[in-house]
Amino acid sequence: MDDVMTITFLGTGTSQGIPIIGSDHPVCLSKDPKDKRLRVSVLISWKDFNYVVDCGPDFRQQMLSNPIPKLDGILFTHEHSDHTAGIDDIRPFFFRQGDIPIYAHERVVQSLKKRFDYIFADEDRYPGAPALNVNLVEKDTTIQLSGLEIIPIEAYHNRLSVFGYRFGDFVYLTDVKRVADDEVNKIMGAKVLVINALRKQPHHSHFNLEEALTFAKKVGAEKTYFTHISHLLGFHSEVEKELPKNVFLAYDNLQLKI
């Protein structure tokens, strides 16, 4: 692997994004570009390889803002719409490259087959539909991607099992409410941790700010970035001032080098 891995935050918002349609909440009316958040996704690049974690409804816009020459694969955390609804917009990559590899839990694949049946059709395929190379992700089985070993990390989004992923010294987790100690052990020693921090008030299926800070302290990464942020967390510039010196709010189009 190249010495440098580039992380691009394609989106850092929660399921409705920020601003929310029709909202007059002060954060939704903010003029600060860092308070405008597309649905959550991240691009991870090394050598000349590009992988995306999650492909939500803003995927087309994200790819126009952060263009890449090819897409080597998509890893899905779970099946919720804000993480999967952009799958049809992989078509330009498919037209140039052929079948696009995806990596997901079997339950997620079954959900995609139900919702996007035309993509998975074996017969009478619509000529413009993209095609996928499906790879199942299992809890304790590593994934080999373009010379890099990827470690799936299981967490729970309320009662729903979701996967995060460790790419070398980078760990990406979102939509997390609980992580078992055995899975936390897979994270230890990472240089950069990304974890969700939805808002300040408690939530039934997401870390709030206090829980995210506690988890960041437990892992002890050199730097932690919060994502999957709602307008209820507050203004980016104000919340950043409240955070420990090695903890940051991610924002759309932020790039990191590891």
Instruction: Give the integer Cα–Cα distance in Å for 164 and 152.
Output: 6
**pLDDT given for residue 160 in this prediction:** 97
**pLDDT given for residue 3 in this prediction:** 80
**Torsion angle of C-alpha atoms 21, 78, 60, 94, degrees rounded to 10:** -160
Q: How many other C-beta atoms can be found within 10 angstroms of the C-beta atom of residue 185? A: 10
Place of tokens 């437990």: 218
Domains of the chain: which residue ranges?
5-257
Q: What is the CA radius of gyration of the chain?
A: 18
May I ask the CATH architecture of the domain 5-257? 4-Layer Sandwich (3.60)
Can the peptide bond before residue 19 be classed as cis, meaning omega within 30 degrees of 0? yes
Q: How many residues in total does the chain contain?
A: 258
Tokens of 74: 């998509």
Instruction: Give the integer Cα–Cα distance in Å for 241 and 205.
Output: 26
Mean pLDDT split into 10-residue runs, the chain, 258 residues: 86 98 98 98 97 98 98 98 98 97 98 96 85 96 96 97 98 98 98 98 97 98 98 98 97 98
Tokens of 198: 């939805």
Contacts 24+ apart (CB under 8 A), 216-220: 216/244, 216/247, 218/184, 219/171, 219/184, 219/187, 219/188, 219/190, 219/193, 220/188
**pLDDT given for residue 1 in this prediction:** 44
